[in-house]
Structures are given as structure tokens and as C-alpha cells.
Amino acid sequence: MRLITVPHIGTQVPQDNFKGQWEECTPKNVGSFSAVGFFFGRLLHQMLDVPVGLIDTSWESAKCEAWIRRDVLEKDPRFMDLMDDWRKTEANYNAVVAKSQHEEAMRLWKKEAANAQAAGRPAPRKPNEPRDPLVGQHRPGNLHAGVLHPLIGYGMKGIVWFQGEGNNKRAFEYGYLFPLMIQHWRDEWKQGDFPFYWAQLADYLSEEPEPGDATFAELREAQTKPMGRLPNTGQAVTIDLGEGNQIHPRNKRDVALRLGRWALARDYGFRFAFRSPEYKSIEVRNGKTVLTFDCFGSSLVTRDVDEVRGFAVCGADRIWAWAEARIVGSDKIEVKSSKVERPIAVRYAWADNPVCNVYSKSGLPLTPFLSLIHI
């Protein structure tokens, strides 16, 4: 295995080169490399018995729009508000003022910290260093120009992607941004519809006692959609691999193995389960709501307890209630709630950190979803 990492450069000026070199994968240098990337590459290396090269372009908390060429976004009316907001930021940001404000914040913090120490109280949190948004990983086009551009056209097999938390409060927009980014990269690489596999956002934040809306759930739905729109794409569902207090799952190995299933099955001819069950259709039978799922050759089971957990329904009042659910066939689940006489919609695992336990017999979690009932 060989590794190379592209430095973090956020700029509007397309870069044609970067400082870095291919290195042998060793215990000495792998610690600073993408963990998901390493485990994914190691799986391919072990299963295929061929040399594997990995290029790491990851940047924590990056936004999707930063990976798309600026002029592509400017010309697309769907992102008019996004670009207008950024033009205002670009026009008004002043590094000198930001530095001055930070110095004043530090002066006040030192005074408060001294008072807290004298009173035997914990010191307040130290102010963060100011970040220049113009050279970071959020500005539209910055990472395309600074990180991706030097690589465009380089021979490669495909891409694995782990991003989305930076866009979690703009899920509707992400539903257009993400597939645009994939197609945009393919157009620029001129290597056809190369494989593009991504990890859906894992569970995060606190578990809520009642069902309701959640920005991370909305983002997961937006992440799922490109599979039906673009060829050679796939999603590894990781709704069971996260932690409430850690936005990036510590269990990078299983995230990578689920991504690896896609690559080995779709691109290298291995015959095993690789795709999580997905919602297919819904119907009302004799007053009972029955959902059908595409299990891709497997069947549905529960994990941990026999009770099916994670489903909620709502009526015309749009107030969500937990549903009683049971598996009624290899690919079917029946849901009902005494609190909702006539449900109009069903959700599964629709929370930032949902309690849910439906899997395929192959060990892959059911994909979170929202479905409307057509009455």
C-alpha cells in the first residue's frame, strides 16, 4: 500500500501542484492518514492481493460547495442565495478587525479566568482563534481550487467520500449540491462514470424521547437520493456506528468495511451482500399500514431485541407518534399507532441519534427514510 496526502489549501486560485509524495504505508506514517481511507484500502489490498494507492484529500467539517468549481455554482440558480451570502461575507470580512476583536475577547477572558481562580471556580472557556473564512474549507470553490485541482485527470479507480455534517442545516440544498458535485468531478476527470461511494452520516447528539424533526435525519435523506439519479454510486449506511458525543464515529474500521463491500461487489466481482435494505413502497390493507423494502437478496430481522424499534407515524395534524411495528414477511413491516387513527406518513430512524434495530440478515442496517401515504 502507498499513501499520499494533499495539504489543506483553501483558495480561489486553481493550484496545479502540491507538496507531497507517495510513501509506503507503515505504522510510522499511517497515524496521520485518513482512518476510513486506510481501512478501506487495506481491505482491497488483502482481498485482491494487488498494490493499492490511496490519495487523502479529507478536511474536517468541509462543506460540499467548497469542493465544486466556483463558476459552476455561480451559474446555477438553485444556489443563488448561497452565493449571495458568500459575496456579502467576502465583501465585509476584515482580518484586522477580527484580530482586534479576538485580542479584546482574550483580555476579558484572562480577567474572568483570574477571578474564577481566586474564587476557586473553573475558568471560563478560552476564546477560539479567529478563522479567516476566505481561506478555509467552507468557501465555495476553495477546496476544488486548492486541493482537488492538482489531481484532476490523474488515473484512479474511484472515490470514497465521508462528508455532510458541514451542510446538515441545509439538507434541501444538499440534495442538489451533492449529486452536482459527483457529476461535476466526473465531467472534469473525463474517465467516465467512475465509482463513487459514500458513508451516510452516523448517529450523533442525544437520543430524544419523542419523535420529531431533525436536521441530521434530513441530511441523511438528501445523501440517499443520488443512488437513484447517478450510475455507479452507492451508500454505506452507518446509523449504528456513531456516538452521541462524537460527530465523527471512532469506529472507522466498520465504516470502511461497509464502503469496501460496495467496491468489492460492484467493481471486483465478489458475490456477497453489500447494500443496506431500502424503502420500496407503502400500502394500507384493511386499515393496516404495510411497508415493503428492497432487501437485495436478503431478508429483514431485528437486532438486540425482538421488538421492532425506530418507526413513527403522523396524521393530518403532523404530530408524530411512535408506532408499533412488526415484521410480517421477509421484506415487509406492518406499523400502527393507537395515537394516530389515519396515518399519512411513516418515518424510520428519523432523528439525529435514533434508537432503531432493523437489519438485513446479512448484517446491514435498514436505510433511514420518510414515506408519505397516498390516500
pLDDT in tens, the chain (375 residues): 999 999 999 999 999 999 999 999 999 999 999 999 999 999 999 999 999 999 999 999 999 999 999 999 999 999 999 999 999 999 999 988 999 998 999 999 999 999 999 999 999 999 988 889 999 999 999 999 999 999 999 999 999 999 999 999 999 999 999 999 999 999 999 999 999 999 999 999 999 999 999 999 999 999 999 999 999 999 999 999 999 999 889 999 999 999 999 999 999 999 999 999 999 999 987 778 999 999 999 999 999 999 999 999 999 999 999 999 999 999 999 999 999 999 999 999 999 999 999 999 999 999 999 999 875
Count of structural domains within the chain: 2
Q: The domain spanning residue 15 has which CATH number? A: 3.40.50.1110
Same domain, 198 and 220: yes
Establish if 44 belongs to a structural domain. yes
Q: What is the CATH number of the domain that holds 322?
A: 2.60.40
The answer to whether 258 and 264 have CB atoms below 8 angstroms apart is no
Q: At what angle do helices 252-267 and 35-48 cross, to 10 degrees?
A: 40
Helices then strands, counting H and E runs in the chain, come out as: 8, 16
Q: Which three cell numbers stand for residue 295?
A: 432487501
> Domain for residue 94, yes or no?
no
Residue 21 C-alpha cell reads as 509524495
Residue 29, domain member (yes or no)? yes
H/E segment holding residue 213 = none
Asked whether residue 292 falls in the same domain as residue 337, the answer is yes
Q: How many CB atoms lie within 10 A of CB 50?
A: 8
CA distance 50 to 44: 8
Q: Is residue 363 part of a domain?
A: yes
In whole angstroms, give the CA distance from residue 160 to residue 163. Answer: 10
The reply to whether 180 and 316 lie within a common domain is no
- 350: closest CA among 322, 369, 324? 369
- Whether residues 282 and 240 fall in one domain: no
**DSSP for 39-55?**
HHHHHHHHHH-S--EEE
- Which amino acid is present at 149? H
Whether 162 and 216 map to the same domain: the answer is yes
Q: Phi, psi (5° rounding) for residue 287? A: 80, 0
Q: Is 126 within a domain?
A: no
The DSSP secondary structure of 196-212, one letter per residue, reads: EEEEPPPP-SPPPSS--
Residue finishing a domain among 267, 301, 318: 267
Residue 375, pLDDT score: 59
At position 303, the amino acid (one-letter code) is: R
Looking at residue 105, its pLDDT comes to 93
> Same domain for 171 and 302?
no
Last residue of one domain, picked from the residues 199, 233, 267: 267
Residues 68 and 187 in one domain: yes
Element (H, E) at 361: none
Do 226 and 181 share a structural domain?
Answer: yes
**3-state SS class at 312:** strand
Contacts of 201 (CB under 8 A, 6+ apart): 164, 165, 168, 216, 219, 220, 223, 238, 242
Write b or e for each residue in 258-271: b if 16 or more Cβ atoms lie within 10 A of its Cβ, otherwise e: bbbbbbbbbeeeee
Length of the chain: 375
The answer to whether position 108 is within a domain reads no
Q: Are residues 164 and 225 in the same domain?
A: yes
In Å, how far are 2, 81, 233, 256, 275 from 44, measured between CA atoms? Answer: 13, 42, 18, 10, 17
| Residue where a domain stops, chosen among 267, 293, 315 | 267
Query: Chain centroid to CA 284: how far?
Result: 33
21 three-state secondary structure: coil
What are the residues whose beta carbons fall under 8 Å from the beta carbon of 269, sequence distance 6 or more? none
On whether the CB atoms of residues 292 and 269 are closer than 8 A, the answer is: no
Whole domain around residue 292: which residue ranges? 278-372
CA separation for the pair 202, 220 (Å, rounded): 9
46 with 168, same domain: the answer is yes
* 17 found inside a domain: yes
Q: Is residue 157 situated within a structural domain?
A: yes
Name the residue among 63, 81, 73, 76 with its Cα closest to residue 133. Answer: 63
- Say yes or no: 164 and 298 in one domain: no
Q: Do 287 and 222 share a structural domain?
A: no
